Amino acid sequence: MKLIKKLHACIRLEKDGRTLVVDPGGLSEEDAAVGADAILVTHEHFDHFNEERLRAALDADPATEIWTLKSVADQLSAAFPGRVHTVGHGDTFSAAGFDVQVHGELHAVIHPDIPRITNVGYLIDGSVFHPGDAFTVPNTPVETLLLPVHAPWNKSAEVIDYVREVRPQRAIDVHDALLADLARPVYDAQIESLGGGAEHLRLASGGSTEL
């Protein structure tokens, strides 16, 4: 499996000639979802879900399908019957040849005055976990954790403790569009020294790694 990092929280996975895209939102490249056989969306916030871009991807390829939670599916399913699938915690399914398990239910707390919304994470092929905007810990081993390294809802101590709790073989930074380049070495050093021994990778947009 090949993992390609896109801007912010978006990643592309390629295997056996097929492509799965997760969270091609408003801070990712405009073409982040182009060419995807399947798309997963963790929640409705703009940096993970861009309705216009998803509609364009579905219009461009009548075989493309989306799996997501109800709040997102409700905005797309009427226009694309049978191609938008609603999922929740505990569900399993196959998308573009990838086996997917759904973990988690709620977005992390941004502020006590802001109501929490639904958020799901996806464990892909039993090895790659994208948590969306939460510190969800799957009840199964994770080889590659897509680590939300910087967000309005987290702090670096929580990010480090999350790596320690999940105990992946490797952690790859996502959710990083708002993190200044000047701060990256600080985050890198803390995660690498305190993350419990997990390999830590930071990929530029368009960068890739084989898993």
Adjacency order of strands within the sheet including 208-210: 84-86, 65-68, 38-41, 18-22, 11-15, 2-5, 208-210
Task: Find the helix packing angle between 184-194 and 156-166, rounded to 10°.
Answer: 40
Place of tokens 């699938």: 85
Those residues of the chain that have pLDDT short of 50 are: none
What is the reported pLDDT for 208?
Answer: 98
What is the reported pLDDT for 44?
Answer: 98
Question: Distance between CA atoms of 152 and 20, rounded to whole angstroms?
Answer: 27
- pTM above 0.85? yes
> Which CATH number belongs to the domain containing residue 161 in this structure?
3.60.15.10
Cα dist from 19 to 83, 97, 146, 164, whole Å: 16, 9, 17, 30
What is the reported pLDDT for 142?
Answer: 98
What is the reported pLDDT for 175?
Answer: 98
Q: Measured between alpha carbons, how far apart are the two ends of the chain, in Å?
A: 5
The domain in which residue 126 lies consists of 2-210
Structural contact between residues 54 and 24, judged by C-beta atoms closer than 8 angstroms? yes
Structural contact between residues 37 and 19, judged by C-beta atoms closer than 8 angstroms? yes
Domain count, the chain: 1
What is the reported pLDDT for 24?
Answer: 98
Residue 150: closest CA among 131, 111, 178, 190 = 178
pLDDT in tens, 54-96: 999 999 999 999 999 999 999 999 999 999 999 999 999 999 9
Query: CA angle 117-106-7, nearest 5°?
Result: 80
Sign of CA dihedral 138, 28, 161, 200: positive
What is the reported pLDDT for 2?
Answer: 98
Three-class SS state of 70? helix
What is the reported pLDDT for 70?
Answer: 97
- DSSP E strands, the chain: 2-5, 11-15, 18-22, 38-41, 65-68, 84-86, 92-95, 98-103, 121-124, 128-130, 144-148, 170-174, 199-201, 208-210
